[in-house]
Amino acid sequence: MLDDLYYKRERAREAAARGDFDEAANQLFQAALQTHIAENDYVAILRPLEDVLVRRGDARSALTVNWYSAFSDKDGWKRAYAKLKSVPPVDRARTAAAMGDMVTAAREMEEAGLVAAAAIYKEKANDWNGARALWSRLTQVTSTGADSYNAGLVQFNLSRCAHKCEDARQARDAIVASVRLLEEAADHFESVGQRERAFDCFQVLVQIGREGGMFENVLEGFVNCIRILREDHLKYFALQYYEDALTASREKEELSAAATLARESSEYSRALGMASASAHYTMLQADLWREVARQHIDRGAPPEIAENAVLAAILASGEVGQFARVGKLYEELSQMDLEPARKKHYLRASKRYDGVRDEPIDASPLPSHLKQDNQFPDVWHVDVLEWEQQGSAAEACADVLLDKRWPDLVRRKAMLARVTAFAVETRPDDGTAPMTTARTRLAEQLAQLQLYTVLSPLEKLFQRPERAVKVAVLASMQTLFFKRSFITVRQGLRDPDSAVVDQAAKAVEQLTFPHAFDPLSRIVREHQLANVRGAAIRALARIDTVEAAEFLLGVLEHGAPADRAAAIEGIKRSRGRQFVELARATMNGSTPETQVVLRDVLRSRGIAA
C-alpha cells in the first residue's frame, strides 16, 4: 500500500514539473483515498496535494486539505490565512471560527447570507444583542408542516438571546410561539410516520421548560420522548428518560408527577423482566406519595387529599411485600384530621400488621452499564444550520472536517467528500456523463462517513433525475442505520423507474435495527409490490423483538402466499430467539396449517417443536 502511495506521489511530482496540475492533483487525490494509513504517511500526501491545488487555481479545495492538517501543523493556519482572499465568505468564516475568531466568523457568515450560522457565531462571541437581531430576521420562516419545526427552533433561539439581553417580554413571546410551532411540527411528523423528528421537537420542549422555568413543558417533552422511545423499543433509553424526568420533577418539587412517573417506570421495568429495577421504582413511588402527603399537610390542604396520597403509598408498599411499612402508614392515617370513623378504621388496620416484617426484596436502580448518555444535543442550532445549508454536501462535510471530536479517519473522508462536492455544487449543471459520475461518487463518499449529518445532502442528491444518481443514493442509504433513511428509501419505492425501485427494495432489506420496526411494518402494510413487501418482511425477521415476532406470526397466519413465503425464508435465516419463544407459546392455539409451518421453521433451526 505504501509503495503505491509513494509511486503516485512521484507521478504527481513529475506531472507538476511539466505543468500538468490536473494530472498531479488526480494522482495525489487517488493516493489520499487510502484513508487507513498512518498519519505521518497521510500528511506526506496532503502537503503536496495542497500545493498542487493552489497552483491549479482551486483555492477552496486547497483550503479544505489545509483544514485537515492545520490543527497539528504549526504553520497550518498561517497557510490557511494566505488563501482567504481567494475563497468565498463562508470558507473565510469557517477558518476564522477554527482559529477562535468568532467575531470575524459571524461577520463573514452574514456576508455569505447564512444568517443562522452568523447568529450562532455571535452567541459564541457573547454578542447577544447581535445574535438576537439576526434570529429576529429569521422569524419569518414559513410556519406550516415540517417548516414549523425550523420556525419553532428560530423562536427558541430568539428567546434565549432575549433572555440574555434581559428583555423578558420578547423572551416570553418567543417562547410561547416556539412551543406552539414545535407542537404543530410534532403532530405533523407523527402523522407522516417520522417519529424521530417528533422526538427532536419534544427534546426541545424539555429544554424550553428548563430554561424558562415552565415545568409543564418539561413534563410534556419528557412524557412524549418516553412514549416514542418505548414505541421504538429503545428500552434502556426509555428507562434513562424516566430517570431524568423523575429528577426534573423532584427538583421542581412536583412530587405527584414524580410519583406517577415512578409507577410507570416500575410497570415498564416489570414488563421488560427487570424485577429489581421494578421493585426500586415501586419503593420510590411509595416514598414519593408519602412526601406528597406531607407536602399537602404543610400547605394546609384538605386532609382528604393527603389521605389519598398515603393510600397510594400503602398500595405501592404492599405490592412489594413491605408490610411493616404498610402498618406504619395506616397508623399515620389514623392520626390525621379525618372523620372519627375513618380514623378508627385505619387504626384497626394498622393493628393487623403488628409484628409483621417487611419481606426481603432485591430493589436496585438501573445498572450503570445500562444507563445511556441522555445529554440533549443542541438541535436548536444543529437543525437550523442543516435547514440553512439546504443539503449542501460541501458545508455538511466542512462541519465534520473542522470538528476535532471526530476521529482522523472520519475527518479524512469528510475532506475528500468535500473536494468531490465542489465538482458537483460549484459547476454548471450540464447534464453530462462526467457530472453524473461525480454525483454518484459523492453519494458513495458521503455514505462512508456513516454519520446522520450526511442524510440531508443525500436527500438532495436523490432529487436528481439521473437513474445512476438515485441508485447510488439508495445504495448509500442501506448503510445508514437511521429511521430518517427510510424517508428517501420510501421515495425510491414509489419511483416510476423499476431499477430505482429494485435498489430501494435492497436498501429496505438491509436496514435492520430495533427501531426500524415501525417503518418496515408500514411498508409491508402499504406497498403493492410483493418483492418490496418481501424485502421488508425478511428485514423484520432479523429484528429480534416481541413486536417483530408477533408481526411475523400474523403474516404466517393471514398473509398473502408471497408474504408468507418471505416470512418463512426470513425466519429460517434468522438467529433471534423472540420468534422461537412466541411460536412455542402459540403453537397449540394456532390453526393446523400454521402449526405445520411453525414446526417446519423450528426444525430448520434445529429446535424441537
Q: What is the pLDDT of residues 243-284, one digit of tens each?
A: 999 999 999 999 999 999 999 999 999 998 889 999 999 999
Cα angle 556, 559, 564; round to 5 = 55
Q: Do residues 425 and 398 touch, judged by C-beta distance below 8 A? A: no
Confidence (pLDDT) at 370: 60
Confidence (pLDDT) at 145: 58
Range among 67-71, 208-212, 470-474, 582-586 rated most confident: 470-474
Counting beta carbons within 10 angstroms of the beta carbon of residue 208, is it exposed (0 to 12), middle (13 to 18) or buried (19 or more)? buried
Range among 140-149, 353-362, 412-421 rated most confident: 412-421
Flag whether pLDDT at 499 surpasses 80: yes
CATH 1.20.950 fits 2-87, yes or no: no
Across the range 49-70, mean pLDDT stands at 94
Nearest one of 495, 445, 490, 486 to 467, comparing CA atoms: 495
Q: Taking the complete model, does pTM exceed 0.95, yes or no? A: no
Q: Band of the pLDDT at 84, cuts 50, 70, 90?
A: very high
pLDDT tens figures, 475-495: 999 999 998 999 999 999 999
Confidence (pLDDT) at 376: 64
3-state secondary structure 124-161: HCCCHHHHHHHHHHHHHCCCCCCHHHHHHHHHHHHHHH
Flag whether pLDDT at 107 surpasses 60: yes
Q: Do residues 93 and 76 touch, judged by C-beta distance below 8 A? A: no
Confidence (pLDDT) at 272: 86
Largest CA distance in the chain: 106
Show Cβ contacts of residue 501 under 8 Å, excluding neighbours closer than 6 positions: 492, 493, 495, 529, 532
Q: Measure Cα distances from 594 to 102, 505, 585, 606 in Å.
A: 66, 27, 13, 18
* CA-based torsion, 46, 51, 52, 54: positive or negative: positive
Nearest one of 26, 57, 58, 28 to 43, comparing CA atoms: 28
H/E run at residue 560: none
Q: Band of the pLDDT at 131, cuts 50, 70, 90?
A: very high
In residues, how long is the chain?
609
pLDDT tens figures, 320-373: 999 999 999 999 999 998 999 999 999 999 999 988 888 888 888 777 656 655
Cell numbers at 335, concatenated: 392520626
Q: Band of the pLDDT at 159, cuts 50, 70, 90?
A: very high
Confidence (pLDDT) at 475: 97
Nearest one of 67, 116, 117 to 87, comparing CA atoms: 67
Flag whether pLDDT at 390 surpasses 80: yes
Across all residues in the chain, what is the average pLDDT?
Answer: 91
Burial 337-361 (b: 16+ CB within 10 A, else e): ebeeeeeeebeebbeebeeeeeeee
Rg of the chain on CA atoms, in Å: 30
Flag whether pLDDT at 146 surpasses 90: no
Spell out the alpha helix ranges (H) of 320-432. 323-334, 340-351, 379-389, 393-401, 408-425
Q: Band of the pLDDT at 595, cuts 50, 70, 90?
A: confident
Flag whether pLDDT at 540 surpasses 80: yes
